[in-house]
Amino acid sequence: MSGTALINNLIPTADVVKRAARIGAEIRNIKLSGELPHQTIAAINSVLLEHKVIFFRDQGHLDDAGQERFALRLGKLMPPMGPVTNGTTSVRKVDSTGAFYRADAWHTDLAFFDAYPKITMLRGVVIPAFGGDTVWSNTAAAYLDLPPQLQHLADELWAVHSNAFDSAVIARISEADKKYWDEVMTRTIYETEHPVVRVLPETGERALVLGNYVQHFVGIEKYDGQRLFDLFQSHVTAPENTVRWNWKEGDVAIWDNRATQHYGVNDYGEQRRVACRVTIEGEVPVSVHGQCSVTRVKATRQSPENVA
Protein backbone atom coordinates (compact mmCIF):
# COMPACT_ATOMS: atom_id res chain seq x y z
CA MET A 1 0.00 0.00 0.00
CA SER A 2 1.40 3.45 -0.86
CA GLY A 3 2.09 6.01 1.83
CA THR A 4 -0.74 8.14 0.49
CA ALA A 5 -3.24 5.27 0.85
CA LEU A 6 -1.90 4.48 4.34
CA ILE A 7 -2.39 8.07 5.48
CA ASN A 8 -5.89 8.21 4.00
CA ASN A 9 -6.81 4.98 5.80
CA LEU A 10 -5.62 6.33 9.13
CA ILE A 11 -6.79 9.91 8.85
CA PRO A 12 -9.62 10.17 6.32
CA THR A 13 -9.41 13.98 6.28
CA ALA A 14 -5.69 13.99 5.47
CA ASP A 15 -4.67 14.74 1.94
CA VAL A 16 -1.42 14.11 0.09
CA VAL A 17 -1.04 16.68 -2.68
CA LYS A 18 1.85 16.40 -5.10
CA ARG A 19 3.75 19.64 -5.66
CA ALA A 20 5.76 18.58 -8.72
CA ALA A 21 5.90 15.49 -10.92
CA ARG A 22 9.19 14.07 -9.67
CA ILE A 23 9.57 15.40 -6.14
CA GLY A 24 7.61 16.98 -3.32
CA ALA A 25 4.21 16.45 -1.70
CA GLU A 26 2.23 18.44 0.81
CA ILE A 27 0.41 16.52 3.52
CA ARG A 28 -2.65 18.48 4.61
CA ASN A 29 -4.77 18.21 7.73
CA ILE A 30 -2.28 16.50 10.03
CA LYS A 31 -1.23 18.06 13.31
CA LEU A 32 2.38 17.00 13.90
CA SER A 33 3.34 15.96 17.42
CA GLY A 34 5.45 13.49 19.33
CA GLU A 35 2.26 11.68 20.32
CA LEU A 36 1.09 10.60 16.85
CA PRO A 37 0.22 6.89 16.60
CA HIS A 38 2.90 4.56 15.29
CA GLN A 39 0.94 3.83 12.09
CA THR A 40 0.72 7.53 11.26
CA ILE A 41 4.48 7.90 11.67
CA ALA A 42 5.00 4.85 9.44
CA ALA A 43 2.71 6.40 6.82
CA ILE A 44 4.58 9.72 6.96
CA ASN A 45 7.86 7.84 6.47
CA SER A 46 6.39 6.02 3.53
CA VAL A 47 5.21 9.25 1.84
CA LEU A 48 8.67 10.70 2.48
CA LEU A 49 10.40 7.76 0.78
CA GLU A 50 8.13 8.16 -2.23
CA HIS A 51 8.20 11.96 -2.63
CA LYS A 52 11.65 12.77 -1.10
CA VAL A 53 10.46 16.02 0.49
CA ILE A 54 7.15 16.54 2.29
CA PHE A 55 5.58 19.76 3.50
CA PHE A 56 3.12 20.57 6.28
CA ARG A 57 1.48 23.98 6.64
CA ASP A 58 -0.02 25.40 9.85
CA GLN A 59 2.18 23.69 12.44
CA GLY A 60 2.42 26.85 14.55
CA HIS A 61 1.60 24.83 17.69
CA LEU A 62 5.12 23.34 17.57
CA ASP A 63 7.81 25.01 19.62
CA ASP A 64 11.45 23.89 19.61
CA ALA A 65 10.84 21.13 22.15
CA GLY A 66 7.70 19.99 20.32
CA GLN A 67 9.62 19.84 17.05
CA GLU A 68 12.29 17.75 18.75
CA ARG A 69 9.72 15.36 20.24
CA PHE A 70 8.17 14.81 16.81
CA ALA A 71 11.60 14.42 15.16
CA LEU A 72 12.49 11.73 17.70
CA ARG A 73 9.69 9.62 16.27
CA LEU A 74 11.48 9.55 12.91
CA GLY A 75 14.83 8.29 14.22
CA LYS A 76 17.86 9.07 16.34
CA LEU A 77 18.71 12.77 16.45
CA MET A 78 22.15 14.00 15.45
CA PRO A 79 23.73 16.65 17.68
CA PRO A 80 24.25 19.69 15.44
CA MET A 81 27.53 21.48 14.83
CA GLY A 82 27.17 24.63 16.88
CA PRO A 83 24.76 25.64 19.66
CA VAL A 84 21.28 24.22 20.23
CA THR A 85 18.17 26.12 21.26
CA ASN A 86 17.12 26.29 24.93
CA GLY A 87 15.56 23.14 26.31
CA THR A 88 16.56 20.89 23.41
CA THR A 89 19.51 18.65 22.62
CA SER A 90 19.36 18.79 18.85
CA VAL A 91 17.42 21.79 17.53
CA ARG A 92 19.57 24.35 15.81
CA LYS A 93 18.34 27.84 15.01
CA VAL A 94 19.33 29.07 11.55
CA ASP A 95 19.00 32.85 11.72
CA SER A 96 19.87 35.07 8.77
CA THR A 97 20.78 37.93 11.11
CA GLY A 98 23.26 35.80 13.06
CA ALA A 99 26.61 34.58 11.94
CA PHE A 100 25.59 31.89 9.53
CA TYR A 101 26.48 31.23 5.96
CA ARG A 102 23.36 31.39 3.79
CA ALA A 103 22.82 28.01 2.15
CA ASP A 104 22.72 29.40 -1.39
CA ALA A 105 24.56 26.55 -3.02
CA TRP A 106 23.25 23.11 -3.97
CA HIS A 107 24.13 20.71 -1.19
CA THR A 108 23.21 17.66 0.83
CA ASP A 109 23.31 18.43 4.55
CA LEU A 110 26.55 17.40 6.27
CA ALA A 111 27.64 15.18 3.35
CA PHE A 112 31.23 15.43 4.54
CA PHE A 113 30.41 12.81 7.20
CA ASP A 114 30.33 9.14 6.25
CA ALA A 115 26.95 8.51 7.94
CA TYR A 116 25.46 11.88 7.04
CA PRO A 117 21.83 12.57 8.00
CA LYS A 118 19.05 10.43 6.62
CA ILE A 119 16.44 13.11 7.24
CA THR A 120 16.48 16.85 7.83
CA MET A 121 13.48 18.70 9.24
CA LEU A 122 13.13 22.47 9.02
CA ARG A 123 10.44 24.55 10.73
CA GLY A 124 9.76 28.08 9.55
CA VAL A 125 9.79 30.52 12.49
CA VAL A 126 10.34 34.00 11.01
CA ILE A 127 9.63 34.23 7.30
CA PRO A 128 10.50 37.29 5.19
CA ALA A 129 7.76 39.16 3.35
CA PHE A 130 9.33 38.18 0.05
CA GLY A 131 11.95 35.71 -1.09
CA GLY A 132 13.70 33.04 0.97
CA ASP A 133 12.23 30.00 -0.81
CA THR A 134 14.01 26.67 -0.66
CA VAL A 135 14.43 24.42 -3.72
CA TRP A 136 14.97 20.66 -3.50
CA SER A 137 16.11 18.24 -6.18
CA ASN A 138 15.49 14.51 -6.46
CA THR A 139 18.93 12.94 -6.96
CA ALA A 140 17.44 9.52 -7.73
CA ALA A 141 15.46 11.09 -10.59
CA ALA A 142 18.69 12.79 -11.71
CA TYR A 143 20.39 9.37 -11.91
CA LEU A 144 17.48 7.98 -13.94
CA ASP A 145 17.84 10.93 -16.34
CA LEU A 146 21.32 9.80 -17.33
CA PRO A 147 21.76 7.58 -20.40
CA PRO A 148 22.89 4.03 -19.45
CA GLN A 149 26.51 4.72 -20.47
CA LEU A 150 26.74 7.67 -18.06
CA GLN A 151 24.95 5.72 -15.33
CA HIS A 152 27.66 3.04 -15.66
CA LEU A 153 30.37 5.69 -15.44
CA ALA A 154 28.76 7.29 -12.35
CA ASP A 155 28.40 3.83 -10.74
CA GLU A 156 32.19 3.43 -10.82
CA LEU A 157 33.16 6.91 -9.56
CA TRP A 158 33.97 8.01 -6.03
CA ALA A 159 34.28 11.57 -4.76
CA VAL A 160 35.90 13.23 -1.77
CA HIS A 161 33.53 15.47 0.23
CA SER A 162 34.88 17.93 2.77
CA ASN A 163 33.74 20.79 4.98
CA ALA A 164 36.96 22.64 4.15
CA PHE A 165 35.49 25.30 1.86
CA ASP A 166 37.49 26.71 -0.97
CA SER A 167 38.76 30.26 -0.87
CA ALA A 168 36.29 31.47 -3.53
CA VAL A 169 33.38 30.74 -1.19
CA ILE A 170 35.11 32.15 1.87
CA ALA A 171 35.93 35.34 -0.06
CA ARG A 172 32.29 36.27 -0.60
CA ILE A 173 30.89 35.74 2.91
CA SER A 174 30.70 38.29 5.69
CA GLU A 175 33.28 38.66 8.47
CA ALA A 176 30.78 37.32 11.02
CA ASP A 177 30.09 34.28 8.87
CA LYS A 178 33.82 33.72 8.38
CA LYS A 179 34.26 33.71 12.15
CA TYR A 180 31.41 31.22 12.57
CA TRP A 181 32.77 29.06 9.78
CA ASP A 182 36.21 29.10 11.32
CA GLU A 183 35.16 28.44 14.90
CA VAL A 184 32.33 25.97 14.41
CA MET A 185 32.06 24.51 10.94
CA THR A 186 35.71 23.89 10.11
CA ARG A 187 37.25 23.48 13.55
CA THR A 188 37.49 19.84 12.57
CA ILE A 189 38.11 19.04 8.92
CA TYR A 190 36.40 15.93 7.62
CA GLU A 191 37.21 14.26 4.34
CA THR A 192 34.99 11.43 3.28
CA GLU A 193 35.03 9.30 0.14
CA HIS A 194 31.51 8.57 -1.02
CA PRO A 195 30.46 6.58 -4.07
CA VAL A 196 28.96 8.98 -6.64
CA VAL A 197 25.99 6.60 -6.72
CA ARG A 198 24.54 5.17 -3.51
CA VAL A 199 21.85 2.54 -3.21
CA LEU A 200 18.98 3.41 -0.87
CA PRO A 201 18.39 0.50 1.51
CA GLU A 202 14.57 0.66 1.64
CA THR A 203 13.83 0.93 -2.07
CA GLY A 204 16.99 -0.13 -3.94
CA GLU A 205 16.87 3.21 -5.79
CA ARG A 206 20.17 4.62 -6.98
CA ALA A 207 20.85 8.27 -6.10
CA LEU A 208 23.68 10.63 -7.06
CA VAL A 209 25.82 11.84 -4.14
CA LEU A 210 27.28 15.19 -5.17
CA GLY A 211 26.71 18.85 -4.17
CA ASN A 212 29.00 21.61 -3.00
CA TYR A 213 30.98 19.62 -0.44
CA VAL A 214 32.61 17.67 -3.29
CA GLN A 215 36.30 18.52 -3.58
CA HIS A 216 37.39 16.14 -6.33
CA PHE A 217 36.79 12.73 -7.85
CA VAL A 218 39.06 9.96 -6.65
CA GLY A 219 41.80 9.21 -9.20
CA ILE A 220 40.73 11.89 -11.68
CA GLU A 221 42.67 15.03 -12.39
CA LYS A 222 40.96 18.27 -11.24
CA TYR A 223 40.29 19.69 -14.73
CA ASP A 224 38.56 16.53 -15.99
CA GLY A 225 36.88 16.02 -12.62
CA GLN A 226 35.28 19.47 -12.69
CA ARG A 227 33.71 18.73 -16.09
CA LEU A 228 32.41 15.39 -14.89
CA PHE A 229 31.01 17.06 -11.77
CA ASP A 230 29.28 19.74 -13.87
CA LEU A 231 27.82 17.08 -16.17
CA PHE A 232 26.28 15.00 -13.38
CA GLN A 233 25.32 17.97 -11.21
CA SER A 234 23.48 19.57 -14.17
CA HIS A 235 21.01 16.67 -14.01
CA VAL A 236 20.52 17.30 -10.30
CA THR A 237 19.73 20.97 -10.85
CA ALA A 238 17.54 20.47 -13.94
CA PRO A 239 14.27 22.27 -13.10
CA GLU A 240 12.23 19.15 -13.94
CA ASN A 241 13.86 17.32 -11.02
CA THR A 242 13.11 20.06 -8.50
CA VAL A 243 10.36 21.49 -6.32
CA ARG A 244 10.30 25.00 -4.83
CA TRP A 245 8.65 25.89 -1.54
CA ASN A 246 7.43 29.34 -0.57
CA TRP A 247 7.59 29.37 3.23
CA LYS A 248 4.94 30.59 5.66
CA GLU A 249 5.43 30.78 9.41
CA GLY A 250 4.64 27.44 11.04
CA ASP A 251 5.53 25.38 7.94
CA VAL A 252 7.49 22.19 8.38
CA ALA A 253 9.53 20.62 5.58
CA ILE A 254 11.03 17.15 5.96
CA TRP A 255 13.38 15.73 3.37
CA ASP A 256 15.20 12.51 2.63
CA ASN A 257 18.70 13.94 2.74
CA ARG A 258 20.10 10.79 1.09
CA ALA A 259 18.11 11.27 -2.11
CA THR A 260 18.02 15.05 -2.43
CA GLN A 261 20.04 18.21 -2.65
CA HIS A 262 18.63 21.59 -1.72
CA TYR A 263 19.31 25.28 -2.24
CA GLY A 264 18.26 28.23 -0.08
CA VAL A 265 17.46 31.09 -2.44
CA ASN A 266 19.28 34.18 -1.21
CA ASP A 267 16.80 36.77 -2.50
CA TYR A 268 15.38 38.25 0.70
CA GLY A 269 17.94 41.00 1.19
CA GLU A 270 18.42 42.17 4.77
CA GLN A 271 15.11 40.78 6.02
CA ARG A 272 15.23 38.37 8.93
CA ARG A 273 14.65 34.70 8.27
CA VAL A 274 14.67 32.14 11.07
CA ALA A 275 14.17 28.41 10.80
CA CYS A 276 14.78 25.61 13.28
CA ARG A 277 16.57 22.52 12.03
CA VAL A 278 16.82 18.96 13.29
CA THR A 279 18.71 16.16 11.60
CA ILE A 280 18.15 12.42 11.95
CA GLU A 281 21.03 9.97 11.83
CA GLY A 282 21.71 8.19 8.56
CA GLU A 283 23.53 5.03 7.61
CA VAL A 284 26.90 4.86 5.83
CA PRO A 285 26.23 4.95 2.05
CA VAL A 286 26.74 1.78 0.05
CA SER A 287 27.81 1.76 -3.62
CA VAL A 288 26.23 -0.35 -6.36
CA HIS A 289 29.06 -2.85 -5.73
CA GLY A 290 28.36 -3.02 -1.98
CA GLN A 291 31.31 -0.87 -0.87
CA CYS A 292 30.83 1.60 2.00
CA SER A 293 31.88 5.25 2.23
CA VAL A 294 35.07 5.92 4.17
CA THR A 295 36.17 8.94 6.19
CA ARG A 296 39.80 9.38 5.20
CA VAL A 297 40.95 12.36 7.25
CA LYS A 298 39.66 13.86 10.43
CA ALA A 299 41.95 16.67 11.49
CA THR A 300 41.16 18.95 14.39
CA ARG A 301 42.75 22.36 14.48
CA GLN A 302 43.77 23.87 17.76
CA SER A 303 41.35 26.48 18.97
CA PRO A 304 42.89 30.01 18.96
CA GLU A 305 42.95 30.14 22.75
CA ASN A 306 45.01 26.92 22.83
CA VAL A 307 47.58 28.11 20.33
CA ALA A 308 50.79 28.98 22.12
Binding segment (CB under 5 A) for Fe ion, from list 33-41, 108-116, 154-162, 225-233: 108-116
Nearer to Fe ion by Cβ, of 103 and 173: the residue is 103
CA distance 5 to 99: 43
Nearer to Fe ion by Cβ, of 4 and 137: the residue is 137
Binding segment (CB under 5 A) for Fe ion, from list 3-11, 63-71, 96-104, 294-302: 96-104
Nearer to Fe ion by Cβ, of 65 and 103: the residue is 103
Number of residues near Fe ion (by CB under 5 A): 2
Interface pick for Fe ion out of 41, 103, 218, 292 (rule CB under 5 A) = 103
Nearer to Fe ion by Cβ, of 4 and 279: the residue is 279
Binding segment (CB under 5 A) for Fe ion, from list 32-40, 48-56, 100-108, 241-249: 100-108
Q: Shortest gap between Cβ of 119 and Fe ion (angstroms)?
A: 12
Q: Shortest gap between Cβ of 117 and Fe ion (angstroms)?
A: 10
Lateral strand order in the sheet of 252-256: 15-18, 25-28, 53-56, 252-256, 119-126, 274-280, 92-95
Binding segment (CB under 5 A) for Fe ion, from list 45-53, 104-112, 220-228, 282-290: 104-112
Q: Shortest gap between Cβ of 216 and Fe ion (angstroms)?
A: 22
Q: Shortest gap between Cβ of 122 and Fe ion (angstroms)?
A: 8
Binding segment (CB under 5 A) for Fe ion, from list 95-103, 141-149, 151-159, 242-250: 95-103
User: Does the footprint of Fe ion cover residue 109 (CB under 5 A)?
Assistant: yes
* Cα 96 from chain centroid (whole Å): 18
Q: Shortest gap between Cβ of 111 and Fe ion (angstroms)?
A: 10
Binding segment (CB under 5 A) for Fe ion, from list 23-31, 99-107, 131-139, 188-196: 99-107
User: Does the footprint of Fe ion cover residue 265 (CB under 5 A)?
Assistant: no
Q: Shortest gap between Cβ of 277 and Fe ion (angstroms)?
A: 8
Interactions with Fe ion, residue window 177-216 (CB under 5 A): none
Q: Shortest gap between Cβ of 25 and Fe ion (angstroms)?
A: 20
Nearer to Fe ion by Cβ, of 146 and 276: the residue is 276
Interactions with Fe ion, residue window 128-167 (CB under 5 A): none
- What is the rounded end-to-end Cα distance, in angstroms, of the chain? 63
Nearer to Fe ion by Cβ, of 11 and 110: the residue is 110
Q: Shortest gap between Cβ of 13 and Fe ion (angstroms)?
A: 32
CA distance 289 to 206: 12
Question: What does the DSSP assignment read for the chain?
Answer: --HHHHHHHH-TT-EEEESSSSS-EEEES----TT--HHHHHHHHHHHHHHSEEEE---TT--HHHHHHHHHTTSPBPPPSS---TT-SS-EEEETTSS-----S-B-TTTTSTT--SEEEEEEEE--SS---EEEEEHHHHHHHS-HHHHHHHHH-EEEEES---HHHHHTS-HHHHHHIIIIITSEEEEEEEESEEE-TTT--EEE--STTEEEETTS-HHHHHHHHHHHHHHHS-GGGEEEE---TT-EEEEETTSEEEEE---STT---EEEEEEE--PPPB-TTSPBPEEEEEEEPPPGGG--
Using alpha carbons, select from 29, 27, 33 the residue that is nearest to residue 62. Answer: 33
Residues forming contacts to Fe ion in the complex (CB under 5 A) are: 103, 109
